[in-house]
Structure 1
Amino acid sequence: MKKLMLAAAALALTAGMGMAQTVRMATEGAYPPYNFVNDKGELDGLEIELGNELCKRAQLECTWVKNDWDSIIPNLVSSNYDTIMAGMNINEERKKAIDFTDPYTPPMPSAYMALKADADIEGGVVAAQTNTIQASHVASTGATLLEFATGEETIAAVRNGEADAVFADKDFLAPSVAESNGELVWVEGQDNVELGEGIGMGVRKSDTELKEKFNTAIKSMKEDGSLNAMLKKWFGESALQF
């Protein structure tokens, strides 16, 4: 009888392990170096590498879901996936709808980029990706906000003359400046604008246990230096660190 009970317990444990819920991690896949689709057609970037390591440390089975930016929060709330890792800055407006883990980047600077350093960012047209803290900031100025679904479209709007400047995360814009042979430049004095509280993982307000598991994993990476090493890998030696 004892052997039968032990066997039954082992079977129940195995079944429970087999039914363990997979944590579905959403990202945009269009915001390098945070997240993008590489030449092999695979999701890549800081957040993919970091997310996989966090799942490993938290002993979670995770899978990635690619989702457009403009619906990424509604789909989390609707339980179409369980987390968001998509270059999402923590701010008070977003906290009304979802919760966040501790930040896995320090507050990252935003910047204005244009075809000329004296572009009019107060009275002109400024492009920004929709539903971003940069779009909200532009809307609070005297500039005309021109919103696009993706970051790449905001850069294209500057190049084709639709917008006088683009406002976005500096790390996102930096490669375009570096590779443009002088065509694209930072707007003078506007290449280090501080917004937000840092970038974190979005979770549903009800998922407190999941949030704490990821917080513990993030803390361990901060303490052993591996998070700073990852930030340097993706953002360069001058990357802001913890």
Structure 2
Amino acid sequence: MKTLLRSTAILSLGLLASGAMAQDIVRIGTEGAYAPYNFVNDQNQLDGYEIELGNELCLRAGITCEWVQNDWDSIIPNLVSGNYDAIMAGMSITDERRQVIAFSDEYVPAQSSLYVAQTEGVDVNTAVVAAQTGTIQAGHVSETAATLLEFATFDDALAAVTSGEADAVLADGDSLLPAIEASGGALVVVDSVQIGGGIGVGLRQSDTALAETFNTAIASMKADGTINELMVKWFGAEAETFE
């Protein structure tokens, strides 16, 4: 496993421990390269929606959590092999992934994926489309007549469009919208598609107690509105939240 950065959140006084003892250390793998879900900030610390959410989930569950940064392309194998205990990395829940790992309940509802280009009128069905490797977006493009260019990170896939290497990029809307806004009109949405389910905590299939622990904490945050507040904070006022 290539571990680039590690930050530790020591969280105590949990209120909702279920299936995990307070003294347990739960290691959570994340990419750290998929803003605003997870990224490394100017202080060289992991930050973003999932980092803040994960810390609160651990606090409510009464468990000590340690964050581990890991490259996206090996993030599931390293979970399965035991290098950490959970994944929070903008990972959509899909039937294909469920064959290998389990998921908690959703902490982000299903989102639209956007095709973004530098010019209007790009035919995404025949264009050269960039996507991050191993994502549901890359899988979707591979099933169309478009030419797929895969990249290790979301930033690299986006850069392929701005450099002219690709005609468009397909990625989660919550990650693309800030880039579109920051581009000052240089990037535009040319199409959208609904693929995959919501986003949840990835877990080993044998860790049913830990799954229940996360589900209890997620339900608590949904019930008191905290999870919606975090989504609005990180994704903006137009974010799709839980009813």
CA distance in 2, matches of 1:19, 1:213: 11
**1:1-32 C-alpha deviation (Å, 9 max, x unpaired):** xxxxxxxxxxxxxxxxx993310011000000
What residue number does 2:67 align with? 64
After TM superposition, give the deviation of residue 119 of structure 1 in Å: 1.1
Instruction: Report the CA distance shift for 1:131/1:34 in structure 2 as closer, same or farther (over 3 A).
Output: same
Residue 169 (structure 2) pairs with residue 153 (structure 1): no
What residue number does 2:212 align with? 212
**1:160-210 C-alpha deviation (Å, 9 max, x unpaired):** 1111100000111111111112111111xx13x211110000000000000
After TM superposition, give the deviation of residue 34 of structure 1 in Å: 0.2
SS of aligned partner of 1:111 = strand
Larger radius of gyration: 1
After TM superposition, give the deviation of residue 121 of structure 1 in Å: 1.0
**1:196-226 C-alpha deviation (Å, 9 max, x unpaired):** 1100000000000000000000001101111
Residue 121 (structure 2) pairs with residue 122 (structure 1): no
CA distance in 2, matches of 1:179, 1:226: 27
CA distance in 2, matches of 1:183, 1:112: 14
Residue 180 (structure 2) pairs with residue 168 (structure 1): no
Residue 34 (structure 2) pairs with residue 31 (structure 1): yes
Higher strand proportion (structure 1 or 2): 2
CA distance in 1, matches of 2:163, 2:239: 31
CA distance in 2, matches of 1:238, 1:85: 22
SS of aligned partner of 1:212 = helix
CA distance in 2, matches of 1:20, 1:213: 14
Q: CA RMSD in A?
A: 1.2
What residue number does 2:113 align with? 110
1:1-242 → structure 2 map (5 Å cutoff)? 20-187=23-190, 190-191=191-192, 193-242=193-242
Moved over 2 A (4+): 18-21
Q: TM-score, normalised by structure 1?
A: 0.90
CA distance in 2, matches of 1:234, 1:164: 28
CA distance in 2, matches of 1:123, 1:194: 19
Aligned residue pairs total 222
SS of aligned partner of 2:51 = helix
CA distance in 2, matches of 1:236, 1:183: 21
CA distance in 2, matches of 1:240, 1:150: 24
Q: TM-score, normalised by structure 2?
A: 0.89
SS of aligned partner of 2:57 = helix
Identity in percent: 59
Instruction: Report the CA distance shift for 1:19/1:119 in structure 2 as closer, same or farther (over 3 A).
Output: closer
SS of aligned partner of 1:127 = strand
Higher helix proportion (structure 1 or 2): 1
> Can you give the 5+ residue segments of structure 2 that lack an aligned partner in the other structure?
1-20
CA distance in 1, matches of 2:122, 2:189: 9
SS of aligned partner of 2:107 = coil
SS of aligned partner of 1:214 = helix
CA distance in 2, matches of 1:179, 1:40: 21
- Structure 2 letter corresponding to 1:85: M
